[in-house]
Amino acid sequence: MPAELQDDDHTTLSESEKSAVREQLGRLLENPYFSHSKRFPNFLRFVTEQTLAGAEDNIKERTLGVEIFGRDPDYDTASDPIVRVTAAEIRKRVAQYYQEPAHVNELRIALPSGSYIPRFHWPKGANDPVLKEIDLAAAEVLINPEANPKSNLAHARRRPLLVLVLACVVAGALSAGSVLLWQTMHRSTTDFFWGPVLAEKDPVLICVADQTESSGQSLRDAADPARQVQLQPMTQAKDNLTTVAIDDLSAVVRIAGLLQSNGKQYSLRGERATSLADLRTGPAVFIGAFDNAWTLRLTDPLRFHFSNNADMSQVRIVDSTAPAQSRWMVERAVQVATNNYRDYAILARFTDTNTGKLTVILAGLARGGTITAGEFLTDANDMAQLKRASQAAGDKKNMEVVLSTPIIDGEPGSPKIEATYFW
The answer to whether residue 365 is domain-embedded is yes
Q: Distance of CA 253 to CAs 45, 101, 259, Å?
A: 27, 21, 10
Higher pLDDT pick, 175 / 40:
40
In this prediction, what percent of the chain has a pLDDT beyond 70?
77
Instruction: Quick: pLDDT tens for 193-214.
Output: 999 999 999 999 999 988 765 5
pLDDT of residue 236: 52
Q: Is 80 exceeded by the pLDDT of residue 6?
A: no
The answer to whether residue 196 is domain-embedded is no
Instruction: Quick: pLDDT tens for 337-371.
Output: 888 899 999 999 999 999 999 999 999 998 789 99
Domain that holds residue 262: 201-213+239-422
Within this chain, do residues 257 and 367 fall inside the same structural domain, yes or no? yes
In this prediction, what percent of the chain has a pLDDT beyond 90?
48
Name the region of 317 (left: φ>0; alpha: ψ -120 to 50; beta: rest).
beta
Query: Which of the listed residues 81, 105, 123 is the one where a domain comes to its end?
Result: 123
Q: How would DSSP label each residue in 223-272?
A: S-TT-EEEPPPP-SGGGPEEE--HHHHHHHHHHHHHHHHTT--EEEEEGG
Q: Phi and psi at residue 221, in whole multiples of 5°?
A: -75, 130
The answer to whether residue 231 is domain-embedded is no
Within this chain, do residues 209 and 178 fall inside the same structural domain, yes or no? no
Within this chain, do residues 19 and 118 fall inside the same structural domain, yes or no? yes
Query: Which of the listed residues 82, 103, 123 is the one where a domain comes to its end?
Result: 123
Within this chain, do residues 106 and 42 fall inside the same structural domain, yes or no? yes
Q: First vs last Cα of the chain: how many Å apart? A: 34
The answer to whether residue 232 is domain-embedded is no
Within this chain, do residues 282 and 337 fall inside the same structural domain, yes or no? yes
Selection from 95-99, 165-169, 316-320, 381-385 with the highest mean pLDDT: 316-320
- List the one residue out of 54, 37, 43 whose CA is nearest residue 375: 37
Q: How far apart are CA 361 and CA 279, in angstroms?
A: 13
Within this chain, do residues 165 and 281 fall inside the same structural domain, yes or no? no
Residues 6+ apart with CB under 8 A from 298: 286, 352, 359, 361
SS3 track for 180-193: HHHHHHHHHHHHHH
Higher pLDDT pick, 112 / 238:
112
The answer to whether residue 290 is domain-embedded is yes
Higher pLDDT pick, 201 / 242:
201
Within this chain, do residues 178 and 316 fall inside the same structural domain, yes or no? no
How many domains is the chain built from?
A: 3
Grouping H, G, I as helix, E, B as strand and the rest as coil, residue 387 is helix
The answer to whether residue 372 is domain-embedded is yes
Residue 157 CB neighbour total at 10 angstroms? 22
Q: Is 70 exceeded by the pLDDT of residue 188?
A: no
Within this chain, do residues 267 and 415 fall inside the same structural domain, yes or no? yes
Percent of the chain that is helix, strand, coil (3-state, to 5): 45, 20, 35
pLDDT of residue 176: 47
Within this chain, do residues 116 and 207 fall inside the same structural domain, yes or no? no
pLDDT of residue 13: 86
The answer to whether residue 223 is domain-embedded is no
> Given pLDDT bands bounded at 50, 70 and 90, which one contains residue 70?
confident
- List the one residue out of 340, 359, 350 whose CA is nearest residue 412: 340
pLDDT of residue 224: 79
Instruction: Quick: pLDDT tens for 131-165.
Output: 333 333 333 433 344 444 444 444 444 444 444 44
Residues 6+ apart with CB under 8 A from 396: 390, 422, 423
Q: How would DSSP label each residue in 86-100?
A: HHHHHHHHHHHHHHS
The answer to whether residue 221 is domain-embedded is no
Mean pLDDT computed over 231-257: 72
Q: How would DSSP label each residue in 285-349?
A: EEE-STT-HHHHHHHTTSSEEEEE-TTSSEEEEEETTSTT--SEEEEHHHHHHHS-EEEEEEEEE
Within this chain, do residues 150 and 13 fall inside the same structural domain, yes or no? no
Residues 6+ apart with CB under 8 A from 280: 355, 356, 357
Q: How far apart are CA 344 and CA 308, in angstroms?
A: 13
Instruction: Quick: pLDDT tens for 387-422.
Output: 999 999 999 999 999 999 998 888 888 889 999 999
Residues 6+ apart with CB under 8 A from 418: 327, 328, 344, 402, 403, 404
State the burial class of residue 190 (Cβ atoms within 10 Å of its Cβ: 0-12, 13-18, 19+): buried
Q: How far apart are CA 304 and CA 422, in angstroms?
A: 11
Within this chain, do residues 320 and 270 fall inside the same structural domain, yes or no? yes
State the burial class of residue 273 (Cβ atoms within 10 Å of its Cβ: 0-12, 13-18, 19+): exposed
Within this chain, do residues 15 and 164 fall inside the same structural domain, yes or no? no
Q: How far apart are CA 98 and CA 113, in angstroms?
A: 16
Instruction: Quick: pLDDT tens for 82-131.
Output: 898 899 889 988 988 998 888 988 999 999 888 999 999 987 655 444 33
